[in-house]
Amino acid sequence: MAGHQVLALIIGVRIPAPEPNISVKATRVHLVAFFVFGGIIKIAYIINLKNMSDMKQKINLETTPDDSQQQGKKEKSTIGIFGIITNGEDEVLLVHRKDYDLWNLPGGGLEAAEAPWDGVVREVKEETGLDVEVSKLLGVYSKAHKNEIVFSFECKIVSGELTLNKEASDIRYFDKQNLPQNMSPKQVERINDYFQDKNGITMKVQEGKTTIELIKEGKL
């Protein structure tokens, strides 16, 4: 195989065999021309592949959601459970927190694989020392700005004694007309809903700042 034919195979260009009467010089010119032309074609092909790859990558970047969007889609609501317990004088039981100067209804966050009515029984026991049973569902409250749902239950005391613990520095009953000032406005609203309609179930969206935000602003 002639040298010009080997080069033609390398660059992928087919060079016809020279005619018998063409001079050696003309053949060399012919070979160089085809070599250059074949090289240009290969370079253009490589550039085109790179451009297609860059374009594909750009499309993927533009159509793939960023981390914040994916996190937003995966974000789920938390669930709070609180119990309303009253005594014979229709006073409501409140717990004073140890971490903040706040009075709360006994309750907290629902744990994994736990039913809301079981969760409130557990929370009341932990915060007051009382064993209770759930009488009825009183309300379902949505705090959309916090992605939180709160269940309010009426609870009846079965046994136990009021006992201070690592979560409560004080536990006592309050008249509905004389609730503490240092108390979550949203919890005050739930207590008022209970006394306004003890037989109904309230479904309500609760707006406004969180209790901790109000404390930091000096409003509680």
Same domain, 117 and 45: no
> Percent of the chain scored above 70 by pLDDT?
66
Instruction: Give how many domains the chain has, as a whole number.
Output: 2
Distance CA 138, CA 83 (A): 9
Same domain, 135 and 181: yes
Q: What is the pLDDT of residues 25-70, one digit of tens each?
A: 555 545 445 454 455 555 555 555 555 555 445 434 443 444 444 4
Same domain, 53 and 146: no
Same domain, 90 and 197: yes
Checking if the pLDDT of 158 tops 70, the result is yes
Same domain, 16 and 57: yes
Strands lying side by side in the sheet with 168-174: 103-104, 92-97, 168-174
Same domain, 99 and 208: yes
Pair 81, 123: CB distance under 8 Å: yes
Determine the pLDDT at residue 162: 98
The stretch 81-100 carries a mean pLDDT of 97
Determine the pLDDT at residue 108: 96
In this structure, the dihedral spanned by the alpha carbons of residues 190, 195, 196 and 202, taken in order and rounded to 10 degrees, is: 40
Same domain, 190 and 108: yes
Q: Three-class SS of residue 26?
A: helix
Same domain, 43 and 84: no
Among candidate residues 64, 84, 112, the one where a domain is terminated = 64
Same domain, 8 and 107: no
Phi-psi region of 201 (alpha: psi -120 to 50; beta: other; left: phi over 0): beta
Distance CA 169, CA 157 (A): 20
Determine the pLDDT at residue 121: 98
Same domain, 92 and 54: no
Same domain, 101 and 136: yes
The stretch 79-108 carries a mean pLDDT of 97
CATH of the domain at 182: 3.90.79.10
Among candidate residues 64, 84, 104, the one where a domain is terminated = 64
Distance CA 43, CA 53 (A): 16
Determine the pLDDT at residue 219: 83
The residue type of 104 is N
E-strand spans in 66-147?
78-84, 92-97, 103-104, 107-109, 130-143
Checking if the pLDDT of 189 tops 70, the result is yes
Same domain, 47 and 153: no
Domain that holds residue 41: 3-64
The stretch 185-189 carries a mean pLDDT of 96
Among candidate residues 64, 94, 112, the one where a domain is terminated = 64
Determine the pLDDT at residue 50: 56
Q: What is the pLDDT of residues 192-214, one digit of tens each?
A: 999 999 999 999 999 988 888 88
Separation in Å, CA 46 to CA 9, 40, 50, 166? 18, 10, 6, 71
The first and second tokens of residue 41, run together, are 């074609």
